[in-house]
Amino acid sequence: MRRLSQILSEEHVKREEDSKKKKVVLSGSEFTHGSTMTFYNISYKVKVKTGYYGFRKIFKKEILTEVSGVMKPGLNAILGPTGSGKSSLLDILATRKDPCGLTGDILINGYPQPPQFKCMSGYVVQEDIVMGTLTVRENLEFSAALRLPSSMSLEEKKERVDQIIMELDLTKVANAKVGTQFSRGISGGEKKRVCIGLELITHPPILFLDEPTTGLDSSTANAVMELLKRMSVNGKKTIVFSIHQPRYSIFKLFDSLTLLAAGRVVYHGLADKVLPYFLSLGFVCEAYNNPADFFMDIINGDSTAAAASKINFATESDLEKPDGEAETIALMLARQYAQSTQCIRMKEQLKQLSIENKQRKTSYHLIPYSTSFFHQLKWVSRRTFKNLIGNPQNSTAQICITTVLGLVIGAIFAHVENDVTGIQNRVGALFFLTTNQCLNSVTTVELFITEKRIFMHEYISGYYRVSAYFFSKIIADMIPMRTLPGIIFTCLNYFIIGFKPTAQAFFIMMITLILIAYTASSLSLAIATGQSVSSVANLLINICFVFMILFSGLLVNITTISPWLLWLQYFSITRYGLNALQINEFIGLKFCDASTSGLNVTCITPSPFTICTGEEYLAIQGIDITPWGILQNYVALVCMTVIFLSIAYTKLRLLKKYT
């Protein structure tokens, strides 16, 4: 086996010699295409909780144990059965695992991974993460616009997109939508190539793929792997991927193979040398047997070859572990590989490289975002709005339902009179409009939940800042979808029901309904942000709205509530909204004739039985009718909106960014 220093470029060797004399400053330009990744003694432990509340125990589970190896330009496969740790190793190499519990050294061309290596490298997740409502070209243009530097012109970025489309053979479907669960789009193989293209936009030095053949039929999987092989040869790219059980035509494409079992390395080296290695241990692969299946059978102890060969390299003292449990075939294979000359020589060289790295004084330039905040805000907002229009079940359907509901409510409360029944109908209509705006805002919980996986992947990959994503969703999704219902309800109901016929009252009602929707949607976001399942968030939000409705002032008179519960009224969105609507509607209204009204005006305390003016009704309800009455309710709604949005943004910032 050649020394690892021989695989480094001459330029790197020169830098290594200079680094002993002076401080080295690394940036993204230090890592070029076809970089060599080395990892030495990688161990990874996670905390696992068992039992029920009150009886829970926490212990550390070892996922990987002293894993070492080299990933050179070419196809580097990580193979192993379920639970062997192959996905964990891939995520660790791509710096997408929580570093807590991780030990060992990972170097790129002999230097440590830069702090933002995950933004420089490419990573294709197992499940296709791509915006289905956009076309193939639009998805690639989005990646190019945010990940390529601002110094590149728009024409250059478009040329880069066209180049990727040609390389991945996506020309025929370039202008076709990817597809969603509601609309059919491109095929699975084409979707996988789009995901690969999103990562190739930046010419990453290393491309990681997690189970790239998952969900694909055998021929499509073979086509995807042949594409990766061509990329590794033509572009001299370093491609690292995990794979479960590939067919033989795919296995033949591998340049190097890392075989894992129970978190340990069973074999690491050239793929065409793995069969001779196992043959030296006494394992014979039968003719016409897929080598990948053969290795899985050996590790799982399911093959006759494993049973026959076990005694060839296991002594009686090796059959028992210190804790008394029988040693598994996987542990025995890992021990045998660790004792091999190939592994010992490789670890000696990796150890020397690690020592040299620790003696080197190195500082880093943090990799900044490729584009500015406003550029990110523009592109993410544009995509959000396109996604909103492309999902008719979320946009068009909601507007149609709002329109029909507005007409029905208008017909029920139509032509209110200036009498006792008119008071009841007015209050009922205003209460319904208020609560409906709150309950309709429950759909906002889907704003971040449905795109959580896309956001996590794009944020980790350095597409945009959290703030740019957050404000884009507010500007291009929440505001339009919460503004339109308020406008529709006001325009349809105001004149049909017969509210106060003044332009000022009309627009105050519209603004109030919109503010209610904003505040309720902000509460929904504050509760739902960070959740993975919308059902729990919906339950919590509905409970909050139920208590808010109780303290709205209609179901129970606020002045009669016990003082120890009265403080809850200040957290009621419906109370502030309904109070503002009632002040706007009732001030100036008269419900009695002149003679009766004159009798009541002289009363110091309004009569609960005879209400002749709107001011009397508001006073009975304990609603402030001073000139600041509506304004103070607006201030409360705006403050609650800001607080809830701040909570949602903070939760989005603190969201766990590791897999």
Please indicate whether residue 20 or residue 103 has the higher confidence score (pLDDT): 103
Q: Per-residue pLDDT tens for 240-296? A: 999 988 889 999 999 999 999 888 999 999 999 999 998 888 888 888 888 888 888
Measured between alpha carbons, how far is 362 from 353 in angstroms, rounded to an integer?
15
Measured between alpha carbons, how far is 390 from 45 in angstroms, rounded to an integer?
43
Residue 651, pLDDT score: 92
Quick check: 316 pLDDT over 50?
Answer: no
Contacts of 424 (CB under 8 A, 6+ apart): none
- Chain-centroid distance of CA 99 in Å reads 19
Provide the 8-state DSSP code for 475: I
Measured between alpha carbons, how far is 255 from 265 in angstroms, rounded to an integer?
17
- Segment 572-599 mean pLDDT: 78
Residue 558, pLDDT score: 73
Q: Per-residue pLDDT tens for 609-639? A: 577 887 888 888 878 787 788 899 999 999 9
Provide the 8-state DSSP code for 626: S
- Segment 462-483 mean pLDDT: 91
Q: Per-residue pLDDT tens for 522-580? A: 999 999 888 878 888 888 898 888 888 888 878 877 777 788 887 888 888 999 999 99
Residue 595, pLDDT score: 47
Quick check: 31 pLDDT over 50?
Answer: no
Mean pLDDT, the chain, whole residue set:
82
Please indicate whether residue 9 or residue 199 has the higher confidence score (pLDDT): 199
Structural contact between residues 273 and 342, judged by C-beta atoms closer than 8 angstroms: no
Structural contact between residues 84 and 244, judged by C-beta atoms closer than 8 angstroms: no
> HSE-up of 21 (CA within 13 Å, CB side)?
4
Mean pLDDT lowest for which of 29-38, 106-115, 470-479? 29-38
Please indicate whether residue 53 or residue 382 has the higher confidence score (pLDDT): 382
Residue 24, pLDDT score: 35
Q: Which two tokens stand for residue 471?
A: 């404000």
Mean pLDDT lowest for which of 185-194, 237-246, 417-426, 457-466? 417-426
Confidence band (pLDDT; 50, 70, 90) for 121? confident
| Closest by Cα among 510, 647, 483 to 584 | 510
Pair type for strands 37-50 and 111-112: unpaired
Q: Per-residue pLDDT tens for 358-392? A: 665 544 444 568 889 999 999 999 999 998 888 87
- Segment 220-248 mean pLDDT: 88
H-helix segments, 567-604: 573-586, 594-601
Percent of the chain with pLDDT strictly greater than 90:
31
H/E segment holding residue 210: strand 206-210
Quick check: 340 pLDDT over 80?
Answer: yes
Kindly state the greatest CA–CA separation across the chain.
113
Residue 104, pLDDT score: 87
Residue 522, pLDDT score: 94
Quick check: 310 pLDDT over 90?
Answer: no
H-helix segments, 148-290: 154-167, 188-200, 218-234, 248-251, 274-280
Neighbours of 124 (CB within 10 A): 23
Structural contact between residues 24 and 360, judged by C-beta atoms closer than 8 angstroms: yes
Residue 580, pLDDT score: 92
Q: Which two tokens stand for residue 581?
A: 């609507």
